[in-house]
Amino acid sequence: MSSRITLKINDQEVTVEKGTRVIEAAKLAGAEIAHFCYHPKLKPDANCRMCLVEIEKMPKLQTSCSTEVSEGMVVQTASEKVLDAQKGVMAFLLGNHPLDCPECDQGGECQLQDFAHQYGAMTSPFGETKRTFEKTYFGPLIEKEMNRCVSCLRCVRYCDEVIGSNALGSMNRGSMHEVGAFAQQELDCEFCGGCIQICPVGALTSRVSMFDYRTWQLKKTETVCNYCGDGCTLTLETVDEDIKRVSSETGVGRNGGDLCARGFFGYGAVNHESRLTRPRIRLNNNDLEVTWEWAYQTVTDGLKAAIQTHGPKAVGGIISAQCTNEEIYLFQKLMRESVGTPHIDSGARFGYINAIAALTDVFGTARLSRYEDISEADCLLVFAGDMTETNPITALKVKDAIRNHKTKLFTVAPYHRKRETYISHLPHLATQHTEISMGSENAAILGFTKAILEGTPSPHTPSDLFEKIKFAVNGISFDQIESATGVSEQAFKDIGAGFANAERGLIIVGRSILRGIEGYQSMLRLAELSILSGQVGRPGTGILALAKESNAFGAVEMGGTPEFLPGFQSLKKEERGYTALEMIDAAARGEIKALYLVGENPLRSLPQKRVAEALKQLDFLICQDLYPTETTALAHVVLPGASYAEKSGRFTNHEGETQKIREAIDPLGNAKPDWQIFSTLINKMKTTEKVPYQKLLGYASVDAVWKEAVMAMPQGWPVLLGSKMQESLAAYAARANVTWLAPEPFVKNGAFDLQVGQSLFHSGKMSTYATGLTTLQDKMMVLMHPEDAERLEIEEEELVQISVEGSDAVIELPVKYSKKLSEGTLFISEHFALEIKKMLPFTTDSTTGVPYGDRGRVSLAKVRVST
């Protein structure tokens, strides 16, 4: 079967895949055809008429962007007839175009400039006055200059076909045509920046960097975004040490050139004025700016003193999962080898460890599914109703699968199917959405397990595991499950059968499970569900756990948790050190005396009172961070680290894909790449009178660190799901302890169920330093369903009081309506003040110690205005 087609373009023979469009074939033949509306990411629209070519036996010129190649086709792309037509189109496009290239931010990389240079006439046939539009703003971040528009509709089509935000439209017609938002209002969309990037001219440009550069001054550095675990390749464009803008190249990276608001507009955090730029120490209650040498000495002395007086186990370290693989490897080396303590933990503790630990337990690796598997799957079972917010680009992969690969999507989440007007929402796109009661994810997994068990379980399920699951589920009825989830037996059976009977089925899990109560157990049960459905170990199957932090996966792989040495070498229970919260509690008991925190601020991420008490007991607190925090204020030594833009290294995203990040600018002030700090400290700790520090060589580069880290992994790197899966599965089946408890019924009592979670425009605290993103959201709000609000007569922006049962504390927040929320639920994003988290009940995972405190039952009341 031949799917290849040979045709002739400008007398040159070229062979391409069937279905290729002439414009693409021509590119392969070395003939670039001028175009505006064509874009490889979009369906052909053929509206700009620029790409006309002559095709033998066709009476008229054809648009090469919409014409598919056929065998024996003879194409001329630069004949007189073609050039004449293109010049004609060009004359019309330039007819109303302003001569403002000198002050246009697109100047130098504008397709209209380039093609006008190539085809344009020196004079215009039009003597009429140009029609002009007033310059308007397309929202807080985007400038709309319709005089420059060539009406190619790429922005509208990208917004519809790729992002699914559907926020843009094409309005009016003829020379008065323009693109824009509803009724000329400001945009209120996902702000992915895609319309700016895909605009071939300067009609849509970023307001954040307006007039800040000329395009040819920009130095480009390709790196990886640090705002979530998607692992998107982006290009930092800089002038000197200043990041001017972010771009991405079509088709490049795991993201294929698509970005989200955080990736596109979030770069301002790097050079924020509040960054820490010099080492500081606290000496006799004075806060001193010191040299690095002094700071290193203070750290080494402090650590050595703690070891000498209290033993190495009196030292603990916690590192952010936004640090690179090399940094996490070196930090655990510093802790485990130089200090000799097992107490090392990382940001992966805040949920992701549940996924890695459980999947490694069952399958021997957590590298189960990649983005390609999402496209290849026939059926996706998604436990992440907020994926657009938490992992926007993985959500794009899901949208692409539904639209272009006819994949079935089943979503399970405590959300409505409805979406916000201009923000996409996976449950809205789902083949079937299962709206569950908040906190009943686990019961839903049980429902699916029971449905598949009683339906068509995979014959490949290890028989001992099958019996164990059957025994555990036995005695729990669908009625009990329905009373917890609100979902009927039939729905579980339909979706369970749909998933288990699919050729290729893949499970995606998000924070509602990873950071839900007993997430580790839930992940084991999900792994069993995938085995029971036979949906693992083949392309297009498996489990993808979504990471919040850019290197959560890498943090565990590099040994940044107490349970694993580098390469997921599982330590026995008695060899394991403390988790983050256990270290805090050990400090409160006086057991841990020195704590080294890298990019972690436990006063925000863990129960504040408990942490504050503990930190007071410490003899020595080292904080290495980008910004001053509540915790750095208490530190004995503060070391300024470098942001992702200022250092090289590697991040491993939630697929297990390890990608390089590259230094785009020098570290701000005297800040240093964190790996260099650790490298120096490792040597400093080795220094004795006989071996002076100067005689020890540090690591020459991050690559040297990486090499050492890989060598430290006995199973080799990376460990993939291969022949060992069966072995690992059999071992798991033999030792598995499958327990299912009858789920608690969900009782509505008129109170609201509150979820604290992530906003689309922010990631942790770092993004709140980016002006681009604070322009979109700069305060805490409580989201509620409009019908709940109507019932309580609460207007948008109105202040309400929220209180938690059993707590006197009350917080006041403005209300925002949200159609995607289930009635009776509330949502608060976690990036600003954290008063609400102090009020919510706090528990930890019985296996992994993951802290849970994102949900609770609250009451909400109008703030009474005194008149």
Partner 1 sequence: MKYKALSKEAVARIEAELPKYPDRRSLTLPALRIAQEDLGYVSEPAMIDIAEILELTPIQVYDVATFYSQYNMKPVGTYLVQVCKTLSCALVGAASIVEHLQKKLGIGIGETTEDGFFTLKVVECLASCGSGPMMQINDRYYEQLTPEKVDQILSDLKEQGKSALATGPFMLPALQGQK
| Residues within the interface to partner 1 (CB under 8 A) | 166-173, 180-183, 421-422
* Backbone torsions φ then ψ of 550, nearest 5 degrees: -60, -25
To partner 1, the closest distance from the beta carbon of 173 in angstroms equals 6
Give the Cβ contact number of residue 286 at 10 Å: 7
Nearest to 830 by CA among 759, 777, 727: 759
Q: Checking DSSP bridges between strand 344-346 and strand 620-625, what pairing results, if any?
A: unpaired
User: Is 160 or 835 the residue whose CB approaches partner 1 more closely?
Assistant: 160
- What is the token pair recorded at 15? 């062979």
Alpha carbon 208 to chain centroid, angstroms: 22
User: Is 1 or 183 the residue whose CB approaches partner 1 more closely?
Assistant: 183
User: Is 166 or 501 the residue whose CB approaches partner 1 more closely?
Assistant: 166
To partner 1, the closest distance from the beta carbon of 374 in angstroms equals 25
Q: Checking DSSP bridges between strand 52-55 and strand 74-76, what pairing results, if any?
A: antiparallel
User: Is 141 or 509 the residue whose CB approaches partner 1 more closely?
Assistant: 141
To partner 1, the closest distance from the beta carbon of 819 in angstroms equals 10
User: Is 167 or 815 the residue whose CB approaches partner 1 more closely?
Assistant: 167
User: Is 3 or 172 the residue whose CB approaches partner 1 more closely?
Assistant: 172
- State the amino acid at position 747 in one-letter form: V
To partner 1, the closest distance from the beta carbon of 146 in angstroms equals 14
To partner 1, the closest distance from the beta carbon of 156 in angstroms equals 8
User: Is 758 or 818 the residue whose CB approaches partner 1 more closely?
Assistant: 818
* Contact between 378 and 502 (Cβ < 8 Å): yes
To partner 1, the closest distance from the beta carbon of 89 in angstroms equals 22
User: Is 182 or 213 the residue whose CB approaches partner 1 more closely?
Assistant: 182
Alpha carbon 416 to chain centroid, angstroms: 22
Coil, helix or strand for 322? Answer: coil
To partner 1, the closest distance from the beta carbon of 758 in angstroms equals 23
- What is the token pair recorded at 105? 């931010």
To partner 1, the closest distance from the beta carbon of 169 in angstroms equals 3
Contacts of 778 (CB under 8 A, 6+ apart): 768, 832
Residues in the chain: 867
* Contact between 475 and 498 (Cβ < 8 Å): no
User: Is 94 or 156 the residue whose CB approaches partner 1 more closely?
Assistant: 156
Contacts of 315 (CB under 8 A, 6+ apart): 303, 306, 307, 335, 339, 341, 343, 592, 593, 594, 595, 596
To partner 1, the closest distance from the beta carbon of 167 in angstroms equals 6
User: Is 120 or 786 the residue whose CB approaches partner 1 more closely?
Assistant: 786
Nearest to 186 by CA among 213, 160, 199, 168: 168
Report, in angstroms and rounded to the nearest whole number, the Rg of the chain calculated over CA atoms. Answer: 29
To partner 1, the closest distance from the beta carbon of 37 in angstroms equals 16
To partner 1, the closest distance from the beta carbon of 652 in angstroms equals 37
Coil, helix or strand for 16? Answer: strand
- What is the token pair recorded at 590? 């006086």
* Backbone torsions φ then ψ of 366, nearest 5 degrees: -100, 0
- State the amino acid at position 249 in one-letter form: E
Contacts of 41 (CB under 8 A, 6+ apart): 158, 161, 162, 198, 250, 256, 257
User: Is 84 or 796 the residue whose CB approaches partner 1 more closely?
Assistant: 796
User: Is 180 or 849 the residue whose CB approaches partner 1 more closely?
Assistant: 180
**CA-angle at 282, arms to 770 and 320, nearest 5°:** 40
E strands of 468-607, at which residues? 505-509, 542-545, 564-565, 569-570, 594-598
Nearest to 602 by CA among 640, 632, 577: 632
To partner 1, the closest distance from the beta carbon of 480 in angstroms equals 35
User: Is 136 or 456 the residue whose CB approaches partner 1 more closely?
Assistant: 136
Terminal-residue alpha carbon distance, the chain: 82
To partner 1, the closest distance from the beta carbon of 429 in angstroms equals 11
User: Is 425 or 493 the residue whose CB approaches partner 1 more closely?
Assistant: 425
> Which spans in 628-701 are helix H?
674-686
* Contact between 584 and 611 (Cβ < 8 Å): yes
User: Is 171 or 810 the residue whose CB approaches partner 1 more closely?
Assistant: 171
Q: State how far the alpha carbon of 652 is from the alpha carbons of 132, 234, 353, 553, 734, in Å.
A: 49, 15, 14, 6, 31
User: Is 418 or 504 the residue whose CB approaches partner 1 more closely?
Assistant: 418
- State the amino acid at position 398 in one-letter form: V
* Contact between 200 and 134 (Cβ < 8 Å): no
User: Is 169 or 462 the residue whose CB approaches partner 1 more closely?
Assistant: 169
Quick one: angle between helices 674-686 and 702-711, nearest 10?
70
Burial of 504 (0-12, 13-18, 19+ CB in 10 A): middle
For residues 844 and 557, what is the distance between their CA atoms, to the nearest angstrom?
Answer: 22
Contacts of 122 (CB under 8 A, 6+ apart): none
For residues 827 and 821, what is the distance between their CA atoms, to the nearest angstrom?
Answer: 8
Nearest to 32 by CA among 17, 56, 10: 10
User: Is 172 or 284 the residue whose CB approaches partner 1 more closely?
Assistant: 172
To partner 1, the closest distance from the beta carbon of 93 in angstroms equals 20
To partner 1, the closest distance from the beta carbon of 388 in angstroms equals 15
To partner 1, the closest distance from the beta carbon of 422 in angstroms equals 6
To partner 1, the closest distance from the beta carbon of 275 in angstroms equals 39
Write b or e for each residue in 33-44: b if 16 or more Cβ atoms lie within 10 A of its Cβ, otherwise e.
bbbbbbbebbeb
* Contact between 499 and 448 (Cβ < 8 Å): yes
